[in-house]
């Protein structure tokens, strides 16, 4: 019996191509991935640790094809629109995240770390694509932010240091998490690094795709801390939350840079709609800091008419 392709599936900003297909009464996801070897290496590692990633059924290396488990359509992003059982879905996502971060760290087939070089790269990405290209802020004005960016980098690295050696998904947001049989299943883990606990938590709870109320965020913090305790991870709440706040600034800047780049340079127009929420999160986070030049710049940032007319 042959596999029959049913539909093409959109997968956000990735260059991978995915199709849902059927064989008999069972459906699968067929993925073309130009970095197949790394994908397989990461999936094998995570799957062996009992981490909730899709099962692989077969691989055709010459064509860069993988046939994977179909996780269905219930991404955390789609479920968040319904608002039903949302806290339980997010708890499932947090439980899966802690397992990935802690259990996935040992023997992870990764050499890359979330270090100063990568932090500076994310900041440059934000400056180039969001501030420069999307908001048309002059280079001389962006240059004035250098001191604040340097300060943020140093303070962030110092703050996360006690929790910096864990597995980091690097894009743990609602569109990369599916709920199946009441458990969270994780996709798009190929960009994983060794890094701080706080980055993926910020990606999940300060997600530009979903409006999570502060009250719910606080409840989810408490659940995350419970999960860490069960893994015997030591932390002081105040220090951890400070590190989280700095990491969230960095993550929100990275996301805005990505949205602008995908919209303006890769013709993925739908990412434009997430910019207002991303900007709202960044502005709110900067209000509680002393990065004055960066705060003033971000508060005055506006998507230019030239960008809006591109659509």
Q: Give the closest residue to 66 by CA, choosing from 191, 187, 193.
A: 187
Contact assessment for residue 171 and residue 61, using Cβ atoms and an 8 Å cutoff: no
Q: Rounded to an integer, what distance in angstroms lies between the CA atom of residue 252 and that of residue 221?
A: 18
Domain ranges of the chain: 4-69, 76-309
Can you name the residues that pair with 21 across neighbouring β-strands? Answer: 5, 28
Q: What is the pLDDT of residue 52?
A: 95
Give kind and range of the element (H or E) at residue 286: helix 275-286
State the first-to-last Cα distance of the chain, in angstroms, to the nearest integer: 44
* DSSP at 53: -
Q: What is the pLDDT of residue 16?
A: 86
Other Cβ atoms less than 10 A from the Cβ of 127: the count is 21
Give kind and range of the element (H or E) at residue 300: helix 292-300
Q: Give the closest residue to 23 by CA, choosing from 35, 10, 5, 48.
A: 5
Q: What is the pLDDT of residue 11?
A: 67
How many residues in the chain? 311
Q: What is the pLDDT of residue 84?
A: 79
Q: What is the pLDDT along the chain (311 residues), one digit of tens a residue?
A: 588 889 998 767 677 899 999 998 999 999 999 889 999 999 999 999 999 999 999 999 999 999 999 999 999 999 998 877 899 999 999 999 999 999 999 999 999 999 999 999 999 999 999 999 999 999 999 999 999 999 999 999 999 999 999 999 999 999 999 999 999 999 999 999 999 999 999 999 999 999 999 999 999 999 999 999 999 999 999 999 999 999 999 999 999 999 999 999 999 999 999 999 999 999 999 998 999 999 999 999 998 867 877 76
Global pTM exceeds 0.85 = yes
Q: Rounded to an integer, what distance in angstroms lies between the CA atom of residue 163 and that of residue 200?
A: 12
Name residues whose C-beta falls within 8 Å of residue 66's C-beta, 6 or more positions apart in sequence: 30, 31, 33, 36, 39, 40, 56, 58, 59, 60
Q: What is the pLDDT of residue 308?
A: 75
Fold that domain 76-309 belongs to in CATH: Aminoglycoside 3'-phosphotransferase; Chain: A, domain 2 (3.90.1200)
């Amino acid at each position: 019996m042959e596999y029959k392709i049913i539909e093409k599936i959109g997968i956000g900003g990735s260059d991978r191509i995915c199709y849902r297909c059927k064989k008999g009464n069972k459906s699968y996801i067929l993925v073309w991935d130009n970095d197949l070897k790394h994908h397989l290496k990461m999936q094998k590692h995570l799957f062996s640790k009992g981490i909730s990633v899709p099962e692989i059924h077969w691989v055709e290396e010459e064509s860069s094809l993988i046939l994977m488990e179909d996780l269905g359509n219930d991404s955390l992003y789609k479920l968040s629109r319904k608002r039903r059982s949302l806290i339980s879905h997010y708890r499932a996502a947090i439980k899966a995240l802690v397992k990935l971060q802690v259990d996935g760290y040992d023997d992870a087939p990764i050499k890359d770390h979330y270090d100063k070089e990568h932090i500076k790269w994310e900041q440059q990405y934000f400056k180039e694509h969001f501030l420069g290209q999307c908001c048309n802020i002059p280079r001389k004005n962006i240059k004035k932010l250098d001191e604040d960016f340097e300060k943020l980098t140093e303070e962030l690295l110092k703050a996360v240091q006690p929790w910096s050696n864990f597995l980091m998904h690097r894009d743990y947001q609602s569109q990369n998490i599916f709920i199946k049989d009441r458990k969270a299943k994780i996709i798009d883990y190929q960009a994983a690094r060794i890094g701080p606990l706080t980055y993926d938590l910020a990606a999940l709870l300060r997600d530009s795709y979903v409006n999570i109320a502060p009250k719910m965020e606080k409840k989810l913090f408490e659940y995350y801390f419970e999960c860490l305790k069960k893994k015997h991870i030591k932390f002081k709440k105040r220090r951890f939350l400070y590190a989280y706040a700095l990491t969230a600034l960095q993550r929100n800047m990275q996301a805005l840079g990505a949205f602008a780049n995908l919209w303006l340079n890769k013709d993925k127009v739908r990412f434009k709609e997430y910019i207002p929420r991303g900007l709202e999160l960044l502005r709110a986070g900067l209000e509680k800091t002393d990065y004055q030049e960066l705060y003033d710049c971000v508060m005055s940032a506006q998507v230019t008419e030239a960008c809006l007319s591109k659509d």
